[in-house]
Chains A and B, each alone.
Chain A
Amino acid sequence: MTHLPYILASYGLATVIALTLSIGAALRLKKARMRLAVLERPSDRTTGATSSL
């Protein structure tokens, strides 16, 4: 392979961007889901209301 550094840099960059975006999205989703579960739990218990979501 004569142009190996350019090829590796391209694939490496793609991997870094894909991992950053997907891990970021997964963590954000997990955090939002957990916070929402915590916020909705007490109100369900006290009022018996179901979530509008």
Chain B
Amino acid sequence: MSATPTLVARAGTFFHRYANPGRFLKLGARLQPWLTWPALLLTLVGLGWGLFFSPADWQQGDSVRIMYVHVPAAMLASAGYAGLAVCAVLSLVWRHPLADLAAVEIGPVGACITALCLATGSLWGKPMWGTWWVWDARLTSVLVLFFLYLGHIALIRAFDDPQRGYKAAAILALAGAVDLPVIKFSVQWWNTLHQPDSITLTGAPTMSSSMLWPLALSTLGFSLGFAAIVLARTRAAVMESRIRSLLSSPRRRAGNASGDAA
């Protein structure tokens, strides 16, 4: 009976260690180059390898090279939303102030990466399936994810009181997380035009290592890049919040008033 509150309290203490803006900014500044430069390098190597050196597919020909952009974007679209759901839990359960700021910044980045996934999927679908779009379970569930991102972006800015916006958006992020398993298992649960997963956690990959390596590099590069962009935006948001509080501080306003009077 007493174990659960203790665990929750301990987790809260752990997470609140990084709620201090100064500590977060210091940690973020130290972490930023370690995310940014490997992201740039891995993405360039992965995409360059995929575009120029990896073999063409025996069925799909060269259009399989779209995979090196589409698959990392698809993985990150879901992972980004999972990040939003984690932020929602941190915000609703522990009222973590940085979780709300991070959620505000993850939303637009996640929406862009989901849009990239949908667009590259269409660009891959046209030469392979003969159509830009089908109302297939996988495609439709990813489109729903894109709308969930847009809803989150709109909702978090829809209230005059930011705290109400954070709370409403956190509830939407948690409810929308139901879409993640639907996306993952849609190709197994329904008979879809989209191909089944080539890489699973339990089985060996069904693609050649000459394609798997560039895909792994570009996926890692995209993931680090996503983290780097979200970190940079969150650091900027923390600084902007500090700027707002400095500008509205009574001492500064008093200083301005005395300056005006003089």
Contacts and interface: CB of A to CB of B under 8 A. Distances in A.
Tier of interface size on chain B? 35 or more
Majority secondary structure, A binding face: helix
A3 B63 contact: yes
A9 B116 contact: no
Contacts of A20: 112
Given A7-B51, A35-B243, 19 more contacts: A3-B61, A3-B62, A3-B127, A4-B62, A6-B126, A11-B47, A13-B116, A13-B120, A14-B116, A14-B120, A17-B112, A18-B225, A28-B236, A29-B239, A31-B236, A36-B242, A36-B246, A52-B22, A53-B21
Interface in A1-39: 1-4, 6-7, 9-11, 13-14, 17-18, 20-22, 25-26, 28-29, 31-33, 35-36, 39
Interface of A: 1-4, 6-7, 9-11, 13-14, 17-18, 20-22, 25-26, 28-29, 31-33, 35-36, 39-40, 43, 51-53
Nearest to A52: B22
B239 A7 contact: no
A6 B63 contact: yes
Contact of B127 (A6, A17, A32): A6
